[in-house]
Amino acid sequence: MKRFAALLLVSSLLLSGCLWNAERRLEEDALDEFTDATFYDLPDDVPAGEPGEVVRSMPVLSAPLGADAWRVIYHTTDLGGADVLASAIVAVPASTPPTGGTPIVSWGHPTTGAARDCAPSLLFDPFFLMTGLQEFLSAGYAMVATDYPGMAVAGDSSYLVGVTEGNSMLDAARAARTLSAGLSSDVILWGHSQGGQAALFAGQQAAAGYAPDLTVIAVATAAPAADLSELMTDDIAYMEGVTIASYAFPSYEAAYADRYSKDDLTAVLTPAGAAAVDDLAALCLTTQGDELHSLAKPLIGQFVTSNPATTEPWKTLLAENSAGGSPIGVPVFVGQGLADTTVDPSSTKSYVEHLCSTGEDVTFREFTGVSHLLAGALSMPDVLQWLSAVRSDAPPAGTC
């Protein structure tokens, strides 16, 4: 997968006439991979810190042209309020920041896996999955991309645990401000799929008073995993559902250990599902797709004994980790491809209708023929136009 990512990067740069930059990025990516081998390995006795406090950082040599970049490990908080560590990639325009500082886009990535090695920052090109990076940098934004707790840095998985993921997005922006003095406190939350759920929860957390030193001015999502109950119902009989559910088991076991035992959570599995779930959860979607497919395919339709969305305790947990339970209070953008077979377009439309019914300012865009994979990239032109209006004196009219 690392070679594949590198080839895609080279191809795109060749098409834009940037051969020299492609060669530079490949050489420096390789050097980064060599020099960062121990960056994520921390001692067991790291002292607790304030949310957003930086533990360690290092420059990324393969930063995009015209940008400075760092890897960073920082403190954040989990669902129960405990101190945990997370990692991120930060990219900042190298130009002089504007008056008031450079606004920050905090990015929530789509599903790459749930295990430590599945972190996007560990890819050969750590910027590869930062959707819209070049566009945001060109438009004068910095961008920070959390891996979420439990990825890259050792710790419990936080897959689809909305509060933990959301906190890590907000605290990544705080950490970025420590690394670059020219960044403002203005933050835009942007996420795709799993990252859409994370961005929506980050917006809810900010509205509830988390990270009061930041000013969240907008939340943008593409094909967000907003309603986990609906997502599980739609997907559990398919490859996507087996994968999503298998990733959720270790995450929810850790997050809800004070409320439910492992047996409580795994009771919904068939014997075959129970035998395979740990092996499935250890595989990365981005780099071990063939192995994941070979394990998951025989389990399609035979992974669970009943729909987790209607079976306790999963019914309660999926509802708790679905967005919309508390206000966001800033403009929200939602993009959805109508050819999406992972996040059902009707589910996203229902979520938007819910936001509208609660008085949120929502801009909703549907894209004909667009799949789940492409929803983020193809939302970008609309997101940039919408953001420009949000930050101007003539805010956009929502679609509610």
Q: The tokens 């930041």 sit on which residue?
A: 214
Binned at pLDDT 50, 70 and 90, residue 32 comes out as low
Instruction: Say if CB 281 and CB 249 are below 8 A apart.
Output: yes
Q: Residues 327, 285: one domain?
A: no
Q: Residues 286, 300: one domain?
A: yes
Q: Residues 192, 129: one domain?
A: yes
CATH of the domain at 138: 3.40.50.1820
Q: Is residue 166 part of a domain?
A: yes
pLDDT of residue 14: 34
Binned at pLDDT 50, 70 and 90, residue 188 comes out as very high
Q: How many CB atoms lie within 10 A of CB 49?
A: 14
Q: Is residue 395 part of a domain?
A: no
pLDDT of residue 252: 98
Say yes or no to pLDDT of 16 above 60. Answer: no
Cα separation values, 235 from 93, 200, 225, 231, 304, Å:
40, 21, 12, 6, 12
Q: Is residue 264 part of a domain?
A: yes
Q: Residues 294, 381: one domain?
A: no
Q: Is residue 191 part of a domain?
A: yes
pLDDT of residue 38: 87
Q: Residues 25, 93: one domain?
A: no
Q: Residues 76, 220: one domain?
A: yes
Q: Residues 263, 285: one domain?
A: yes
Q: Residues 175, 297: one domain?
A: no
Task: Give the tens place of pLDDT for each residue, 342-353.
Answer: 999 999 999 999
pLDDT of residue 305: 96
CA–CA separation, 235 and 244 (whole Å) = 9
Q: Residues 214, 266: one domain?
A: no
Q: Is residue 397 part of a domain?
A: no
Q: Is residue 399 part of a domain?
A: no
Domain termination site, one of 320, 347, 377: 320
Structural domain total, the chain: 3
Q: Is residue 398 part of a domain?
A: no
Instruction: Say if CB 129 and CB 123 are below 8 A apart.
Output: yes
Q: Residues 284, 272: one domain?
A: yes
Say yes or no to pLDDT of 198 above 70. Answer: yes
Q: Is residue 396 part of a domain?
A: no
- Encoding tokens for residue 324? 């919309």
Binned at pLDDT 50, 70 and 90, residue 325 comes out as very high
- Encoding tokens for residue 332? 């929200």
- The bridge status of strand 215-222 relative to strand 332-337 is parallel
Range of the domain at 250: 228-320
Q: Residues 275, 355: one domain?
A: no
